[in-house]
Structure 1
Amino acid sequence: MSLLLLLQNRGRMSAAKLAAELGVTPRTVYRDVEALAAAGVPIYAETGPDGGYQLMDGYRTRLTGLTAGEAGSLFLTGLPQPAAELGLGAQVAAAELKLMAALPTPYRDASVRIRQRFHLDAPGWYREADPVPQLLAAAEALWQDRIVEVSYRRWSPEPGVVTRRLHPLGLVLKAGVWYLVAGPRVRTYRVGNIERLRTLDEHFTRPDGFDLAEFWRANVESYEESEAGETAVVRLSPAGIEALPDILGPRATRLVRRTLGPADGDGWRRAEIPMESVAHAAAGVLRLGADAQVLAPAELVAHLGTTIRAMALLYP
């Protein structure tokens, strides 16, 4: 089947090239070509320096029911790096080859144009992907519904490495970072923080009705709402308000805009900014420069004062 799809996708190929592509010997290629011909596939050979095997013009298998848009959109789902991290790089490449071979010519041409013009890059700016040496083992245990024992590096409530027995329920790729969703008390674990993973011989039963996508949506909402539990009171200039989406992101900016007070004589307005921690809030406010003044809490005001005075000493 792979030989047939290669010929459909690439046209004439010599036995040597087919053998190299498929990881077999030319003798195997000869035998498989005979088997395809005996099965009624219109395959023939041309001799000479440019010779090789090819299919009769017009012969191809088709994926029925696909529109041009649907066929093209399939090529927007490919994320080579995550697939490779999951040990599926070869399978993804083989699937794309089969899809290309089966598409009618107009759809295949459109798919090639899409791949030439669109590329999906999951990680955020200025960050490298987490090293995830335990990802493949986690994925295998997940697929087999087997319990794993992990050594996990956590940061709260107390930093340190803990040992956990987990029931893998799903893997999620968020902004270039892999997360393992696992029971028995369903929680989320950053795969890059798993220092060791051992798959046990024990199996577990997945919870009835567990929906990975729904759990993740609720988990993200809960996390973002918890971040907004504490706030800092600030004065913002018109330029500072305009810069909020770039500094805080769209969701936090919407929360801040709801708290904006009336403008004073200089156009400055009071607002409340979500505060995960003093250090985290200070970093965001400093990015606003002279377009923001923190009024509360006192800890954040003191932290900023100390930081700004130290910075001033660097620029006499």
Structure 2
Amino acid sequence: MRADRLLSLLLLLQNRGRMTAPQLAAELEVSVRTVYRDVEALGASGVPVRAERGPAGGYRLMAGYRTRLTGLTEDEASSLFLVGAPGPARDLGLDAVLATAQLKLRAALPAELGEQAARVRDRFHLDAPAWFRDADPVPYLAEVARAVWEQRVLRTHYRRWGGEARRELWPLGIVLKGGIWYLVARRAGAQPAAGTTDTEAVRTYRMSRFLEVLTTDERFERPAAFDLAGYWEAASRHLESVLYQETAWLRVSPRARRLLPTQFGAAGERALESAGPPDDAGWVRVELPVEARAVAVGDLLRLGTEAEVLGPPGLRAAVAEAVTVLASRYEIAGR
């Protein structure tokens, strides 16, 4: 570990120029005293580190010195797909490896390209989790990620809607969607049904619902034709078709038109794309896919007085009944 830290310290000085001991300590997540010892070790090994005193002082490399020790390790190269996503990298236990990989890449770039890369880093940031929602607890994420990489069978205890289950899984991939982590896996030993493909035997598991995970020594053969991105796109379309059980016909106000994408996501955006012309008050008619009726009533009531459900008749009646119950309840409470 110390060798990795010394290299990181050297690359920090090369990439950023003069840095103080507290700055280096914060970057390397060590004490200032450790930085002093590491700088002495670099100097003893022949690296020309200069210490400058005073308010503008700190450590810097001798002018013109550049290390060529910038080769990426296998783990560092593997972590580069998470550049720009420090939160997911931290969740996967790859934050330190990714930081070192970025330092090495920056050190290998010509000066002008390195400056441009630094500007991009300073100006763009990816924040994956959704607003106003705490991240799911995912204590087994790093272990599952290693099993995915090493193609090792997992023994799991999983909480489903219908109860708990124990499964042996072939972990094929991990997906981060809207701040929620999912495992894409195939049940160990399961064979696809007649007339189906290997992909159709794959299932999706929400990582926060794992109660226990044990990585075994047993390895599995990853299906050669399996495509994680393709599977996820198809599974997302299937989930949407299952969830949306009918289409609501709505009349919505200008304010509700702004709320639809926020409250209903892509379905709300698509509804607006096919909206009819506005009436004199600026209201438009839209068709919005909705979930099961009990869920749809609650979702549509979130629009309040900014929307009117025109149909289907059963859905309109259900919303009207809910509004009547609410009006009665608050009338009593107000007396």
TM-score by length of 2: 0.72
- How far apart, in 1, do the equivalents of 2:264 and 2:122 lie? 33
User: Is structure 2 residue 103 aligned with structure 1 residue 97?
Assistant: yes
- How far apart, in 2, do the equivalents of 1:311 and 1:237 lie? 21
User: Is structure 2 residue 168 aligned with structure 1 residue 165?
Assistant: yes
Q: Which runs of 5+ in 2 are unaligned?
A: 1-6, 71-79, 188-200
Deviation at 1:266, TM superposition (A): 8.7
User: Corresponding residue for 2:217?
Assistant: 201
SS at match of 2:311: strand
| Correspondence for 2:178 among 175, 198, 220 | 175
User: Corresponding residue for 2:90?
Assistant: 84
User: Corresponding residue for 2:257?
Assistant: 242
User: Corresponding residue for 1:117?
Assistant: 123
User: Corresponding residue for 1:69?
Assistant: none
Residues 103-142 of structure 1, C-alpha deviations (whole Å, 9 max, x = no match):
3333333333333332211111221111111212211211
User: Corresponding residue for 1:308?
Assistant: 323
SS at match of 1:119: coil
| Correspondence for 1:140 among 117, 121, 146 | 146
User: Corresponding residue for 1:6?
Assistant: 12
Higher mean C-alpha displacement, 115-124 vs 231-240? 231-240
Change (3 A) 1:314 1:8: same
User: Is structure 2 residue 299 aligned with structure 1 residue 284?
Assistant: yes
User: Is structure 2 residue 46 aligned with structure 1 residue 55?
Assistant: no
Deviation at 1:239, TM superposition (A): 3.8
1:178 is matched by which residue type in structure 2?
Answer: W
- How far apart, in 1, do the equivalents of 2:240 and 2:83 lie? 27
SS at match of 2:154: strand
The Cα RMSD (Å) is 3.9
1:187 is matched by which residue type in structure 2?
Answer: R
- How far apart, in 2, do the equivalents of 1:47 and 1:247 lie? 56
Residues 168-206 of structure 1, C-alpha deviations (whole Å, 9 max, x = no match):
000111110000000143111110111111112211110
Q: Which runs of 5+ in 1 are unaligned?
A: 38-42, 65-73
TM-score by length of 1: 0.76
| Correspondence for 2:112 among 102, 106, 111 | 106
Change (3 A) 1:154 1:297: farther
User: Is structure 2 residue 238 aligned with structure 1 residue 222?
Assistant: yes
User: Is structure 2 residue 153 aligned with structure 1 residue 153?
Assistant: no
